[in-house]
A and B are shown apart, each in its own frame.
Chain A
């Protein structure tokens, strides 16, 4: 079955630690996205990638980094510079930009 997988489902971060969230898709989509979701605030775009080896900052990119070395994969690193990382992180993909986005199940990040 085609789809988007995110791992892990829950992730714990210690103060000063970088953590990486995984996102993989087998839909053969060119575009991929990372969103952050906080209660009552909807989804906010962190980074997006239109194509392999290219990515752009979204509205709240500070404290985050991404890479897009393969079409199928778009990992997100939450760095120690992100002072309030506790949130639900959602990855999405679409055939190309401006098309319908399909979402993974999400990763909940908690700070110890």
Chain B
């Protein structure tokens, strides 16, 4: 069955430190991969996506992610975290057998001053 795993429920980093959020997937074919961010009580905003081509993808707000087929991973990174990055981050994979996307459970990021 297709699935997405975000192993870290909650991560705390200091402002200015680097960040890596993990995402692993189980999928039978070449997936489409997405990272979304959600502020409390808000909808989801797309950070970046991978469909094909260069496996290192640049997104908004200084985020990037790398697709590693051999590890079935699509980890999100940022070299220097800002306090405004505190939010919940969701990895998503598609298309599923229903032609929709499957979301991970999310990783909540706290940024210490």
Contact = CB atoms under 8 A, between A and B. Distances in A.
A90 B43 contact: yes
Contacts of B100: 33, 45, 48, 58, 97
Interface in A49-100: 50, 56, 58, 88, 90, 92, 97-98, 100
B46 interface: yes
Interface residues of A, number: 27
A79 to B, nearest CB: 22
Nearest to A102: B46
- What is the interface of chain A mostly: helix, strand, loop, or mixed? strand
User: How many interface residues does chain B have, given as a range?
Assistant: 20 to 34
B104 A100 contact: no
B71 interface: no
A56 B44 contact: no
Contacts of A33: 100
Interface in B16-56: 32, 34, 36, 41-46, 49
A106 B88 CA distance: 15
A98 B90 contact: no
Contacts of A108: 41
Interface of A: 4, 6, 33, 35, 40-45, 48, 50, 56, 58, 88, 90, 92, 97-98, 100-106, 108
Interface of B: 9, 32, 34, 36, 41-46, 49, 90, 94-95, 98-101, 103-106
